Amino acid sequence: MSGAILRRGDSTARRLGTAFGLLIALLLALGAGALTCALWVDSTHHEVIEELEPAQDANVYLHSRAAIMHRSLRTYLLTGDRNELESYDVARADTFAALSSAQRHATGMSRASFARQVDQLQSYVRLVDQQAKAEPRSEEAVRLTPEAARRFDAFEATNLKLDAQLIEHIERVENRAAAVLEGSTAAIGVLLALAVLVGVSTALNTTRALTRPLGNVERTLGRLTAGDRMARAREEGPLEIRAVARSVNELADERDRLRAIEEERERLSETARRTGVAVREHLDVDHVLDTACVGIGEGLDADYVFVMLTEENSPLVPVARAWSARRGLLPPGEQTIPPVPGEVVREHYRRGETWSLNGLNAQVADGAPLPGAPGSFGSSGLPPQARAAAEDLGLVSVVVTPIGVGEDPLGAVFLARTRPDKPWRPVEIEFAESMATGVGRALHSAVLYEQETHLVEKLQALDRAKSDFMSTVSHELRTPLTSIVGYIELLKDEDTGPLSQPQRHMLDVVDRNANRLRSLIEDLLTLSRIESGAFTSNMAAVDLRELVGSATDAIKPAAEAASVELETHCPEQPLILHADGEQLDRVLMNLLSNAVKFTPEGGRVSVRADRRDGEAVLSVSDTGIGIPAKEQEKLFQRFFRASNATDAAIPGTGLGLTIVRTIVANHGGETEVQSEEGRGTTITARLPIAVTHDATGGP
């Protein structure tokens, strides 16, 4: 029956609802039948226990009391025993009490019988009361005895008849109750069996209806999980399972679609990466434009790519490069689309978003405004020249993305397709925008690089001219300066005659300034050789101790003149360096002259040479004016002078330390400075020690 109810194609809810509805109806019928049977049995039980059996018991008890009353009176009439008369009186009272009780338990069937028994007993008692008043065995008593026996027999017959009727009725009611109970039990059993049958049948049919299509869905999911992209579930079974199968199939289709999009995204990402790498290989504008057009066009399957660049002081933005899928890069004369107004490009760049349109041919044919297009294109449509170019090329779908850096637009990248069945998809538009952004950055870098290259070339030319000028001027100054120094020496030797003291003082001033000028010229020539790459070193084994001694001897007169104490600390063993002795002597003279010059009267200058960690460490310390902390990082720059030295009007060129660091670096060493304004400066040079037999102690 449940198989007929649960028709194939019904929903699971309807199937279960119908089956459970029938099952509930059967259970309700079962419950109603059981309840009805129970109520009827209870009613029957109530009738037997509460009515029939009490009536029967009362009737039997009435008969027994009446029999005692009748027997006691007859015994009294025969024997004259007064005790029997008393027993009669007691039995008479009990009889009527029992009669009264019997009438209370009387039902429709026994009520008339009890009423008749009341009449019969009253008739009997009226007669036997007369006998009780007569003398025992008297004629009066004997005469009344037959009538009394008849009346008692009539009562007894009525009583016994009622007893038989009550017994028969009780048996009939009990038999009927037993029959009803048996029938009800059988009916309940049938209903229960039917309910079980319906439940089992429903369970089996529903299980079969659910498990097979669910198993199909489960197997399909397993195949999809295992990578079978073609797996699809059969849409069978109840509506809900068909809906699940349909959802699984739709999810599989959606997954295939998303996988295709992801594969396309990966392909485009790889294309964008390769194009970006190719674009950045050379910082050349032409290379960037050519590579970008080819990479974007081929990677995004475009039919045309146009790169439009802004031009300084021009209201139009022309095409700088064009590419065609059929012909590749187009020559400048065949770049087919007219320039775009600059205000359109600027507004597009300010928007910061890509504009695209599938179905451009319909818009061009109608001459209508282009939906969402920037500038006048969005309000009045394409100009006639641009419309004609679009029609000639057969453009159907376009993507335009602006390029620029910061707030300045560089132009736009224009991609187009001529195939109506190949509209631009969102993922392609996204990568077109990404690739165009990379092209914009590369173009900006290429333009900046070209500008920087031109600027560097100009600066290099200027620097070469400056170096040439300094070298020429220095050489030209050395010749007259040599002559001046020579004549000063002749005058001091008094070859031309004796000099007065004022004249000799003036010659000392001229000689001192000439030497300063010669030192400046030497610094300029050295700097010129360094910058031109002509600065070379003549390496040989030199003892740093000897260089320190000769330099301190040379600077000692200047230190004594400035009232500056000069100290020297050198080791007893030689410090052999593989170096240019003249250049290291220049390092020492520059450091010592600076220390003496910037140390006030009464100060101290210390020179220390030592061996430390396999290096020769040369340091010159003073107790002079020091260098401000914020200026120390500029100390080795050309022509730099500390602000406190400038304020104190201490002369100098700012080239000495630059030359010192260059010479030390050429010898593979390092230069360090430690200074505190107002407390002095220490400049340390670390130089590699030559590996010699003497230095290392080898054989």
> What is the 3 state secondary structure string of 17-43?
HHHHHHHHHHHHHHHHHHHHHHHHHHH
Query: Which pLDDT belongs to residue 620?
Result: 93
Query: Which pLDDT belongs to residue 164?
Result: 86
Task: Say if residues 542 and 585 touch (Cβ distance below 8 Å).
Answer: no
User: Rounded to an integer, what distance in angstroms lies between the CA atom of residue 62 and that of residue 507?
Assistant: 181
Residue 88: burial class (beta carbons within 10 Å; 0-12, 13-18, 19+): buried
Partners of 124 in the β-ladder: none
Q: Which stretches in the chain have pLDDT values below 70?
A: 1-13, 15-16, 19, 109, 265, 279-280, 282, 335, 460, 462-479, 481, 487, 495, 512, 515-516, 519-520, 522-536, 638, 648-649, 652-654, 691-699
Query: Which pLDDT belongs to residue 650?
Result: 72
Query: Which pLDDT belongs to residue 124?
Result: 85
User: Rounded to an integer, what distance in angstroms lies between the CA atom of residue 380 and that of residue 357?
Assistant: 16
User: Rounded to an integer, what distance in angstroms lies between the CA atom of residue 603 and that of residue 564?
Assistant: 5
User: Rounded to an integer, what distance in angstroms lies between the CA atom of residue 46 and that of residue 41?
Assistant: 8
Helix (H, G, I), strand (E, B) or coil at 177: helix
Task: Say if residues 159 and 63 touch (Cβ distance below 8 Å).
Answer: yes
For the domain covering 284-441, report its CATH number. Answer: 3.30.450.40
Helix (H, G, I), strand (E, B) or coil at 615: strand
Task: Say if residues 117 and 99 touch (Cβ distance below 8 Å).
Answer: yes
The CA-to-CA distance between both ends of the chain, in Å, stands at 118
- Structure tokens that stand for 101 in this block: 């009780």
- Structure tokens that stand for 32 in this block: 């109603």
Task: Say if residues 635 and 627 touch (Cβ distance below 8 Å).
Answer: yes
Domain ranges of the chain: 2-210, 284-441, 536-696
- Asked whether the CA dihedral 75, 76, 81, 86 is positive or negative, the reply is positive
Q: 652: which DSSP letter?
A: -
User: Rounded to an integer, what distance in angstroms lies between the CA atom of residue 604 and that of residue 595?
Assistant: 9
Q: What is the pLDDT of residues 473-500, one digit of tens each?
A: 555 666 676 777 776 777 777 767 777 7
Task: Say if residues 677 and 629 touch (Cβ distance below 8 Å).
Answer: yes
Query: Which pLDDT belongs to residue 170?
Result: 81
Q: Per DSSP, which regions of 570-665 are E strands?
A: 576-579, 604-612, 615-622
pTM exceeding 0.85: no
User: Rounded to an integer, what distance in angstroms lies between the CA atom of residue 241 and that of residue 225?
Assistant: 20
Partners of 576 in the β-ladder: 543
Q: Which CATH number fits domain 536-696: 3.30.565.10, 3.40.190.10, 3.30.390.30, 3.40.630.10?
A: 3.30.565.10
User: Rounded to an integer, what distance in angstroms lies between the CA atom of residue 80 and that of residue 391?
Assistant: 155
Task: Say if residues 322 and 329 touch (Cβ distance below 8 Å).
Answer: yes
